[in-house]
Amino acid sequence: MAQIDARLRENVHLLGELLGNTIREQLGDAFFDKIERIRKGAKGARRGSADGARLLQETLDGLADDELLPMTRAFNQFLNLANIAEQYHQVRRRRPGEPAPFEVSALGGLLERLKGEGFAQEFLARQVGKLEIELVLTAHPTEVSRRTLIQKYDAIAAQLAARDHTDLGAAELSKIELRLQRLVAEAWHTEEIRRSRPTPVEEAKWGFAVIENSLWQALPNVLRQTDLALKRSTGLHLPLDASPIRFASWMGGDRDGNPNVTAAVSREVLLLARWMAADLFLHDIEGLIAALSMQTASEELLHRSGKSAEPYRALLKTLRDRLVATRDWAIRAIEHNQPAPAAVLQDNAELREPLELCYHSLHACGMGMIADGDLLDTLRRVAAFGLFLVRLDIRQDSARHVAAMAEITDYLGIGHYDQWDEQKRLGFLQDELNNRRPLLPSHFQPSPETAEVLETCRVVAQAPGASLGSYVISMAKGASDVLAVQLLLKEAGLQRPMRVVPLFETLDDLNNAGPAIEQLLGLPGYRQRLHGPQEVMIGYSDSAKDAGTTAAAWAQYRAQEALVNICRAHDVELLLFHGRGGTVGRGGGPAHAAILSQPPGSVAGRFRTTEQGEMIRFKFGLPDIAEQNLSLYLAAVLEATLLPPPMPEPDWRETMEQLAKDGVAGYRSVVRDHPQFVEYFRQATPEQELGRLPLGSRPSKRREGGVESLRAIPWIFAWTQTRLMLPAWLGWEQALHAALERGEGERLQLMRQRWPFFSTRIDMLEMVLAKADADIAEGYDERLVSKELQPLGQDLRDRLSQAVDAVLQVTNQSDLLAHSPATLEAFSLRNTYLDPLHLMQTELLARSRQQQSPAASPLEQALLVSVAGIAAGLRNTG
């Protein structure tokens, strides 16, 4: 069996040893010996040793009440340290002769392959320059770690990098390891869990911090590498104003079911983004002023600088003064709503133009080497981030718009909008959109709910267009949902285009997405209001919760196909916005494979997707890792555009249709139709306790009720904690088993070999099944679930076993992930620390439910730490 790389193993061992030293120092050798007995017992139990299992259980049973919290913290911290070591290993120094990781070479290799396919060099350069990839940072983090801890983890990674040199002297090595010991001790002595939920503004600041600490550095580095790859393959450079990757955010704009996100919050977040952008660019400009001391300049620059002896500095000092004015005004405007003075920068062109003038002057005067340094990096940041840092999306549930329109029509005495059919709604909305008079009199006094909708629209109308992304309508059903938002924005005074984006989330809505957009594009006047592409958002999380991942995945695929064909027939460009989560159950998985598995024609140089929760830190938290992931996005979107996957064969479609039909039946027979399911779910998982975890600013439920009222994240998170992983595979076991029974095994294998959509789904399914563990799930049942409900748990574990058997038949393997022994060994290493956490969590849950402990008690803290530890051990949770 292949082993984990020796350097990774060494770093994991080192960090574990440093943690052990810290624990010994605080809690003594006797407590540390208990940790070691638990670890060795867990390791033995995993290998089938009865003695190991007995040692594990006896040591855990012997823990005193005051030892539960530190013991839980110990295993949680080790898993976090293992994550740091794994993250650093992705970007470690390569030794001579060692190949570069795929992420680094993906774009260059693809460009050479595309040339081999007959694409002209000029065409390829144009395509790369025209790419539009937008990553939307979302604020429902299952990232439970406090920001202060994340900063310490980043510092530990930096010390691992400092240690990764073969020529370090003994004194240098000792200094680094002492610094590591201190950082590990600081992390151990820092409380892991936030005591209170973050506000939406705090979430937005967390997103800005990711940009400041990582993406600000990573993005120009990626574009520099892209430029080099283009130059090598085509002889051409990336255009100066190209911004193939940009960022948007839902943090402070996503008000769907979150009463804490108000119009005032969105306005504050927009201003904070302007403050942060001005502050970051100020640092850049100060550095350029120090560097660009030369005197020779173009006539245009000399004229602009007033014939200064240091023309570059003179021009940049003027820009610096305007950035200072912009930064200072943004803070005052938050507190006092002050209008912007004339010096404030309002348009990205005002920031870009003087920098471009300096750039062209340096090149014209033989100083291109200087121009292509920090100045070029700043210009790349201007193109990607600009004065507004990230574009803020606004998201609201369609029901809130319907309620607002109903209140308005009732006030106007023309009926009840919410009781009208689609045609009557469309007629009213079209008439009002074409009408020049206001819809409402100034003395209209709306209810608080409608007032908030109208005030949000006013914030949109008053904000600069470049500061906003899209207005996303959750749970959209049809064309009237889009026109209602357009009318509300018109009423608020919006006089510029804004993308209004229907989000199709349930199975029925995905199936109706094509007809809904067909109707929308055919409405008189709609095309005149549509500036740019028609954006449509595809919901992954809620469609999977509604129908299971089998049926949801196929509905998402078919909806995209239909939308591509409809927009092509209407000669309208299409932008698909993918609402993907971090986990398989929420449509997550490796981004590169996911993009290449989209329907042909759906990635036409454009790709917009959400990046959520803890995945933001795992993918973009460190600059080097961010560079790798951004490079992968570039390569995947270019490949999917120019070398789209093949159309599925007709018999593959038939098979997929039947798989979806059987999958949704199997999923809903349990989740919707089993009378005991909701009660079993609440007893067997920490779902109720998760409501007390300060995960994010929004509630865990949209409303009171059963599974349908839960958000997708706690739904996934709860099952992940017990290792049943139910939402990611339920339905597949029935669908695949039925197909195999029909004798379609060879066809399924052929589909996996030749159809990227199907192979990606099977690969993600295999990965999540490898993380699932029926024995651990059974342990939760035995300790927490009443006897009358336990047969349901046994049935679900039997279904899990059926899913594993079916996947093994399709992949023609004897064991899950047999093709990736290194991954299996990594899972094995983590299980040694996860198994005790699961056992402690079941006990903590049982005690918590019996004692009804207050939130701040050691018992509740230990429970929350166990949740965080299991989340860290499994990496993607919600």
- Amino acid 263 reads A
Q: Which of 152, 490, 545, 619 is catalytic?
A: 545
3-class SS of residue 254:
strand
Q: What is the pTM of this model?
A: 0.93
User: Quick check: is 242 in a domain?
Assistant: no
Residue that terminates a domain, selected from 384, 414, 443: 384
**Is pLDDT at 385 greater than 60 in this prediction?**
yes
Using CA atoms, how far apart are residues 168 and 164, in angstroms rounded to an integer? 9
- CATH code of the domain in which 314 resides: 1.20.1440.90
* Banded model confidence at residue 61, pLDDT cuts 50, 70, 90: confident
**pLDDT at 695 (0 to 100):** 61
pLDDT, tens digit, 9 for 90 and up, residues 344-378: 999 999 999 999 999 999 999 999 999 999 999 99
Residue of 860 and 235 predicted with greater confidence: 235
The Cα–Cα gap between 289 and 145 comes to 39
Return the structure tokens found at 47.
């290998």
Do 408 and 478 fall into the same domain? yes
Query: Is beta strand 132-138 parallel, antiparallel or unpaired with respect to 499-504?
Result: unpaired
d(CA 665, CA 661): 6
Q: What is the pLDDT of residues 811-838, one digit of tens each?
A: 999 999 998 888 888 888 888 889 999 9
Q: How far apart are the first and last CA of the chain?
A: 31
* Residues 616-629, mean pLDDT to the nearest whole number: 88
At residue 399, the pLDDT reads 96
Domain annotation covers residue 653: no
The sign of the CA dihedral 354, 355, 358, 364 is negative
Same domain, 505 and 417: yes
Domain that holds residue 288: 265-384
- Residue 189 annotated in active site: no
What is the C-alpha to C-alpha distance for residues 16 and 14, in angstroms, rounded to an integer?
A: 5
Biggest alpha carbon–alpha carbon distance for the chain:
88
Give helix 858-874 / helix 65-90 axis angle, nearest 10°.
Answer: 20
The answer to whether residue 654 is domain-embedded is no
- Using a CB cutoff of 8 Å and minimum separation of 24, what contacts does 294-297 make? 294/362, 294/367, 294/370, 296/365, 296/367, 297/361, 297/365
4: pLDDT strictly greater than 80: no
Co-location of 430 and 555 in the same domain: yes
Q: Of 82-91, 104-113, 845-854, which has the strongest mean pLDDT?
A: 104-113
Residues 432, 576, single domain; the answer is yes
Boundary-marking domain end, from 523, 553, 583 = 583
Residue 424 has pLDDT above 70, yes or no: yes
Asked about 545 being catalytic, the answer comes back as yes
> Is there a domain that residue 772 lies in?
no
Provide the token pair at 334. 């938050």
Residue 622's pLDDT band (cuts 50, 70, 90)? confident
Percent of the chain whose predicted confidence (pLDDT) is above 70: 94
Q: 385 φ, ψ to 5°?
A: -105, -45
Phi/psi at 171 (nearest 5 deg)? -65, -40
Q: Please tell me what DSSP assigns to residue 306.
A: T
pLDDT at res. 550: 96
Looking at 12-21, 100-109, 263-272, which range is the least confident one?
A: 100-109
Q: How much of the chain, in percent, has pLDDT values that exceed 90?
A: 74
pLDDT reported for residue 856: 66
pLDDT for position 355: 98
Question: Where is the domain boundary, 384, 417, 438?
Answer: 384
Structure confidence by residue, pLDDT tens digits, 151-163: 888 899 999 989 9
**What was the pLDDT predicted at 153?**
87
Q: With beta carbons less than 8 A apart as the criterion, state whether 779 and 841 touch.
A: no
Q: 185 and 275: one domain?
A: no
- Distance separating alpha carbons of residues 214 and 375, to the nearest angstrom: 19
Residues 458 and 335 in one domain: no
Q: Tell me how far apart the alpha carbons of residues 561 and 755 are, in angstroms, rounded to a whole number.
A: 15
Q: Name the helix (H) or strand (E) containing 535.
A: strand 534-539
The answer on 416 and 366 residing in a single domain is no
pLDDT score of 878 more than 50 = no
Mean pLDDT of the chain: 91
* Partner residues linked to 135 by β-bridges: 247, 609
User: In which band, very low, low, confident or very high, does the pLDDT at 876 lie, cut at 50, 70 and 90?
Assistant: low
Do 449 and 378 lie in a common domain? no
Query: Which string of DSSP letters, residue by residue, matches 105-142?
Result: HHHHHHHHHHHHTT--HHHHHHHHHH-EEEEEEES---
Instruction: Confirm whether 240 is domain-assigned.
Output: no
Spatial distance between the Cα atoms of 260 and 255, rounded to a whole number of angstroms: 8
321 pLDDT above the threshold of 80:
yes
What average pLDDT score do residues 95-116 get?
86
3-state SS string for 728-753: HHCCHHHHHHHHHHCCCHHHHHHHHH
Torsion of CA 824, 826, 832, 836, to 10 degrees: -90
Better-predicted residue by pLDDT, 713 or 789: 789
Distances (CA, A) of 193 to 144, 184, 200, 851: 6, 17, 18, 21
For the stretch 271-296, pLDDT in tens is: 999 999 999 999 999 999 999 999 99
At 256 the pLDDT is 86
Task: Decide if 282 contacts 323 (C-beta within 8 A).
Answer: yes
24 with 158, same domain: the answer is: yes
Question: What pairs with residue 612 in β-bridges?
Answer: 138
How is residue 578 written in tokens?
Answer: 């993918």
Residue 489 lies in a domain: yes
pLDDT at 597: 92
pLDDT bin (cut points 50, 70, 90) of residue 473 is: very high
Q: So what's the pLDDT on residue 91?
A: 82
346 and 411 housed in the same domain: no
239 belongs to a structural domain: no
Q: What pLDDT does 700 receive?
A: 52
Report yes or no: 432 and 497 within 8 Å, Cβ to Cβ. no
Tell the residue number behind the tokens 């650093």, with chain if given. Answer: 88
User: pLDDT tens digit string along 579-594?
Assistant: 875 544 444 457 888 8
Name the domain count of the chain: 3
Is the same domain home to 326 and 179? Answer: no
338 and 486 both lie in a single domain: no
Residue 306, domain member (yes or no): yes
Sign of the alpha-carbon torsion through 399, 400, 401, 407: positive
Provide the token pair at 590: 């490796």
Q: What angle do CA 59, 84, 817 make, to 5 degrees?
A: 75
CA distances in angstroms from 231 to 114, 205, 235, 598, listed in the order given: 15, 37, 4, 29
Residue 587: the pLDDT is 44
Q: Which of 34, 140, 592, 771 is catalytic?
A: 140
